[in-house]
Amino acid sequence: MNSQDLPNAFSAREGDTEQFGVYIHWPFCLSKCPYCDFNSHVRHAAIDEDRFVRAFAAEIAMTAGRAPGRTVSAIFFGGGTPSLMQPSTVGAILDAVGRHWQVTPDAEITLEGNPTSVEASRFRGYRTAGVNRVSLGVQALDDRVLKELGRQHTAQEAIAAVHVARSVFGRYSFDLIYARPRQTPAEWGNELKSALREAGEHLSLYQLTIEPETPFAALYSAGKLRVPDDGTARALYDTTQDICAAHGLPAYEISNHARPGAECRHNLVYWRMHEYAGIGPGAHGRLNVGRLDGDGDRHATATEKRPESWLTRVEQEGHGLVTDEVLTRAEMADEFLLMGLRLAEGIDPQRYLALSGRSLDPARVAALRENGLLETTPAGRLRVSLPGFPILDAVVSDLAA
Residues in contact with ligand SF4 by the rule CB under 6 A: 29, 32-33, 36, 38, 40, 79-81, 114, 137
With CB cut-offs between 5 and 8 Å by kind, which of ligand SF4, ligand SAM, none does residue 175 bind? Answer: ligand SAM
| 150 three-state secondary structure | coil
Interactions with ligand SAM, residue window 175-214 (CB under 6 A): 175, 177, 206, 208-209, 211
Using CB under 6 A, which of the segments 61-69, 74-82, 97-105, 312-320 binds ligand SAM? 74-82
- To ligand SAM, the closest distance from the beta carbon of 123 in angstroms equals 14
- To ligand SAM, the closest distance from the beta carbon of 37 in angstroms equals 7
Q: Which residues pair with 133 in a beta bridge?
A: 110, 171
Q: Would you count residue 81 as binding ligand SAM (CB under 6 A)?
A: yes
| Choice between 146 and 368, CB closer to ligand SAM | 146
- To ligand SAM, the closest distance from the beta carbon of 69 in angstroms equals 31
Interactions with ligand SAM, residue window 124-183 (CB under 6 A): 137, 139, 175, 177
In the chain, helix, strand, coil percent, each to 5?
Answer: 40, 20, 35
**Could you give the CA distance from residue 290 to residue 296 in angstroms, rounded to a whole number?**
5
Q: Would you count residue 36 as binding ligand SAM (CB under 6 A)?
A: yes
Strands 102-113 and 71-79: parallel
- To ligand SAM, the closest distance from the beta carbon of 84 in angstroms equals 9
With CB cut-offs between 5 and 8 Å by kind, which of ligand SAM, ligand SF4, none does residue 32 bind? Answer: ligand SF4
With CB cut-offs between 5 and 8 Å by kind, which of ligand SF4, ligand SAM, none does residue 177 bind? Answer: ligand SAM
For 36-53, the three-class secondary structure string (H helix, E strand, C coil) is: CCCCCECCCCCCCHHHHH
Write the CA distances from 256 to 51, 134, 277, integer angstroms.
Answer: 35, 15, 22
| Choice between 19 and 40, CB closer to ligand SF4 | 40
- To ligand SAM, the closest distance from the beta carbon of 202 in angstroms equals 13
Counting residues that bind ligand SAM (by CB under 6 A) gives: 16
Question: Is the separation of the CB atoms in 119 and 84 below 8 Å?
Answer: yes
| Choice between 137 and 390, CB closer to ligand SF4 | 137
28: DSSP letter: B
- To ligand SF4, the closest distance from the beta carbon of 212 in angstroms equals 15
Q: Would you count residue 89 as binding ligand SAM (CB under 6 A)?
A: no
Q: Would you count residue 239 as binding ligand SAM (CB under 6 A)?
A: no
| Choice between 180 and 265, CB closer to ligand SAM | 180
| Choice between 14 and 206, CB closer to ligand SAM | 206
| Choice between 114 and 240, CB closer to ligand SF4 | 114
Strands 20-26 and 297-303: unpaired
**Could you give the CA distance from residue 324 to residue 59 in angstroms, rounded to a whole number?**
14
- To ligand SF4, the closest distance from the beta carbon of 28 in angstroms equals 8
How many CB atoms are closer than 10 A to CB 392? 15
Cα-flanking dihedrals φ and ψ of residue 352, to 5°?
A: -60, -45
Among 79, 200, 307, 390, binds ligand SAM (CB under 6 A): 79
Q: Which of 285, 296, 218, 205 is nearest to 249 (CA)?
A: 205
Residue type, 306: R
- To ligand SAM, the closest distance from the beta carbon of 82 in angstroms equals 8
Q: Would you count residue 384 as binding ligand SAM (CB under 6 A)?
A: no
Spatial neighbors of 340 by CB under 8 A, at least 6 apart, are: 271, 272, 273, 346, 347
Q: What angle do CA 278, 282, 285 make, to 5 degrees?
A: 25
- To ligand SF4, the closest distance from the beta carbon of 176 in angstroms equals 12
Strands 71-79 and 171-178: unpaired
Rg (the chain; Cα; Å) = 21
Kindly give the residue spans of alpha helices, DSSP state H, lying in 223-377: 230-246, 265-271, 307-317, 329-340, 349-356, 362-370
- To ligand SF4, the closest distance from the beta carbon of 138 in angstroms equals 11
Q: Which residue has the CB atom at the shortest distance from ligand SAM? A: 137
* Contacting positions for ligand SAM (CB under 6 A): 35-36, 38, 78-79, 81, 112, 114, 137, 139, 175, 177, 206, 208-209, 211
